[in-house]
Amino acid sequence: MILHVPLGNYMAAVYTSGSDLRVERVIYRLVGVQPDAQQRWTRYLSSLLAFSLVSVLVLYALLLLQVNAPEPCGHKGLTPALAFNTAISFTTNTSWQNYPGESTLGHIGLVAGLGVQAFASAAVGMCVAVALIRGLIATQNGELGNFWVDLARTVVRILLPLAIVSGVMLLALGVVANFAGVQEISTLIGGTQTIRVGQWRPGSRSS
């Protein structure tokens, strides 16, 4: 509620801007889309589903093959059923897991897999919200904008800046975030405990 005026106004300006940043134009060329092309709801939906399908397949393959990636931290790859469940979950922004990620996935699985999709799925959800708002105020042409433009702007202009600010705040508060492995420590009662040092994330079960 405190941030709705500056953040909401900024987001409205992002989605209604008539110009693109240089990095956004590079993304458009890499993806092969025309940023000026408007999309009706069918085209917008098909673009969204295509992006989500590719995201599911890439994450599914990454989770299955993580044992062959650098720094698997001794963890085994997920079973096909569990990898597919996780890929669907994180691509749809459900983020449901029936296993502790920090003791099951290596650095690549956590960062390039779950981390990226937790980020990208939020961007897709914001695009859906923007398309819904445009649909409510559309008049005759029924155009909802361009999904690829909305996605690029959401990531580059909104989510990345917010991630940088929140990341600096977490680091300032002493949250551990590195690529170290596990550490064996001695407890106060004389026992030992294995603690995963790197790649803390919200919802982590690490002590």
pLDDT value at position 103?
A: 66
pLDDT value at position 186?
A: 84
pLDDT value at position 55?
A: 95
Task: Enumerate the domain spans of the chain.
Answer: 4-177
pLDDT value at position 70?
A: 61
pTM over 0.75: yes
Please enumerate in sequence order all residues whose Cβ is within 8 A of that of 25, keeping only pairs 6 or more positions apart, or say none: 35
pLDDT value at position 100?
A: 66
Rounded CA gap, 132 and 3, in Å? 22
pLDDT value at position 24?
A: 94
Positions of the chain with pLDDT under 50: 200-207
